[in-house]
Amino acid sequence: MLRIARRFISITERSSVKLPFIPLVSENGIPDAIGNTPLLRLPKLSQELKRNIYAKAEFMNPGGSIKDRAALFIIKDAEEKGLIKPGGTIVEGTAGNTGIGLAHVCRSRGYNCVIYMPNTQSKAKIETLKLLGCEVHPVPVKPFDDPMNYNHQAKRHADSLENAVWTNQFDNTANRQAHIETTGPEIWTQLDGNVDAFTCSTGTGGTFAGVTRYLKEISDGKTKSFLADPPGSVLYSYIKSNGKEIVRGGSSFTEGIGQGRVTDNLAGDIELIDDAIQIPDEESIVMLYRLLDEEGLYLGATGALNVVAATKVAKLLPEGSNVVTILADSAHKYSDRIFSKQWLESKGFYLVLPDHLKKYAVLD
Whether 2 contacts 27, CB under 8 Å: yes
67 is catalytic: yes
Helices (H), the chain: 43-49, 67-80, 97-109, 123-131, 150-159, 174-178, 184-190, 206-218, 235-240, 264-267, 281-290, 301-314, 335-338, 341-347
Q: Is 16 exposed, middle or buried (0-12, 13-18, 19+ CB in 10 A)?
A: exposed
97-109 vs 67-80: helix axis angle to the nearest 10?
50
- Which one of the listed residues 56, 67, 125, 224 is annotated catalytic? 67
Q: Which amino acid is at 238?
A: Y
- Give the span between the Cα atoms of 12 and 61, in whole angstroms: 32
SS3 220: coil
5-14 long-range contacts, Cβ below 8 Å, gap at least 24?
none
Whether 164 contacts 135, CB under 8 Å: no
- Residue 318: C-alpha distances to residues 227, 253, 322 (Å): 20, 33, 9
- Residue 245: C-alpha distances to residues 241, 263, 296 (Å): 6, 16, 40
- Give the span between the Cα atoms of 286 and 360, in whole angstroms: 11
Whether 307 contacts 291, CB under 8 Å: yes
- Give the span between the Cα atoms of 318 and 315, in whole angstroms: 8
- Give the span between the Cα atoms of 314 and 309, in whole angstroms: 9
Q: Active-site residue numbers?
A: 67
